[in-house]
Amino acid sequence: MNPGEKLALISVGVNLLVTGLKYFLGVYSGSVALLADAVHSTADVVSSASIWAGIRISRRKTKRFPYGLYKVENLLALITSVIILLAGYEIARGVLEGGGRIQAERLPFAMGGVLVIILLLLGFSRYELKAARRLNSPSLEAEAQHLGTDLFASCVILAGLAGTYFQVQFPLDRWGALIIVLLIARVGLKIAVDAIRVLLDASLDFNTLNTIRDIIQKTPQVSKINALTGRNSGKFKFIEADLALKVRELEKAHFVANQIEGRIRARVPNVDHILIHYEPEKKETRITALPITEDRLHLSEHFGEAPYFLLLTLRIQDKKLLEEKILANPYRTLKTGKGIRVSEWLISQGVDEVMAAKSFDHKGPYYVFADAGVAMQQTEQKEVHHIKTALGAQGGQTQMEKEA
C-alpha cells in the first residue's frame, strides 16, 4: 500500500476505536448524548472506509477510463462534506429541540473518557491533515477536517457533562454548540466547493499556472505561448500547452518539448499528464546579426570582441530590408566568457541568424545558438555591403545611409 492508503486505513482504525469508546461510555454512564454521538461516529467509520477504497480505486486506469479514476477522491470528498453538514444539522437540531440539561450517571468517569477521546481526535486529526496536504490528497484532507468536527462535538458533550456535574444554570453547552455548528458549516461548505470545482474541471490555481508559464517563457526556443490550461483530477494535475517554437526540425522540437516537460515535473508536484502541442514559429521577418568593426563597414574577425553588431531585419517574402540598426557590444571588455554572453544577448534581441568570419563549431556560442534554434553561417565576405547583397536585401533606407 502507498502512504495514502496506509493513512486511510489508520483513520478507519481510529474511528472504530472512538466509536467503541463513545458507545461504552454512553452505556456505562447513561449519557444519551454520548450514545447519539456514537451513532454519529459510525458514519465516520463508513466514511473512512469509503475513502480508503476510493484511494485504491482512483489509481486504476482502464480502456474505458484512460485518464484514471482520480476524481473518485474528489467525489468522496464531496460526500464527506455532506456528512459534515448533516452532522452540524443534527447538533443544531439537538441543541434547539433539547428539553433539559444533560442527564448522566458516573459523570467524572464519563468526563475523563470524553477528554481522552478529545485528545486522541486532536492529535490524529492534526497528524492526518498535515500528511494529507503533504500527499496532496483531497479525500484524506476532508477526512481530517471531518475528524475536527467530531472533536468539536466531543467538546460540546464534555461541556454538557461538566455543566451537569457542576450544576451550572446557564446553558453553556447550547451556546457553544451553536458556535461549533457555524464552524462545521464553514468547513463542510469549503470542502464541497473545492470538490465541485475539480469535478467540473475548473482551472488550476493561478500560482501553479504562473509557475508553469514562467518555466516555459524561460526556455530560449519558445517564441510564444499560444495557450496554457490545466486542471486537477484528485490530487493529480493535467496540463496542456500550445507553443510556437523557434525550431524547424521535428526532432529538435520534440527534444525541446521533453525538456519543458521535465522542468515542469521538477517544480510542480503531482503532475500526471502534460500535453505540449508545438509548431514552428510563423514569422514574416528574419533578423540577421553581423559583428562589425569600428568603421561599421567591415565584418569583424572577432565575434565576442566586436565593437558593434549590425542587425538586419528582412521581410521573408521578398527579402525587403525593413530595418537596420547598430548596437554597441556591451560585453566586449569582459576578460572571459564574452562570446557566450554576447550570444545570449543577441538571442534576447530576437536574432534568427548570425553571420561571422569564423566558425562557431565546438565553441561556447555554438551551443548557445544551437539550443535557441538560431542559425549560424560562416562567410568569407569582408565588406558589409557585399554581405547584404548576398542576403538579397532589397530597398529600405539603412541606418548607415541615414547617418551619411
pLDDT given at position 287: 92
pLDDT for 402 beyond 50: no
Confidence grade of residue 6 (pLDDT, cut at 50, 70, 90)? confident
Each residue of 148-187: pLDDT tens digit?
Answer: 777 777 887 787 777 777 766 555 555 655 666 676 677 7
More confident residue, 394 or 211: 211
The whole-number pLDDT of residue 110 equals 82
Residue 396 in this model has a pLDDT that exceeds 50: no
Q: How confident is the model at residue 59 (pLDDT cuts 50, 70, 90)?
A: low
Domains and CATH numbers, the chain: 3-199 (1.20.1510.10), 206-280 (3.30.70.1350), 285-403 (3.30.420.130)
Q: Which residues pair with 354 in a beta bridge?
A: 289, 376
pLDDT tens digit string along 132-143? Answer: 888 877 777 877
Residue 40 vs residue 203, higher pLDDT: 203
Q: Which residue has the higher pLDDT, 9 or 61?
A: 9
What pLDDT, on the 0 to 100 scale, is given for residue 211? 93
pLDDT mean over 13-22: 86
Res. 404: pLDDT tops 60? no
Distance CA 145, CA 131 (A): 12
Lowest mean pLDDT among 116-125, 170-179, 269-278, 346-355: 170-179
Is the pTM higher than 0.85? The answer reads no
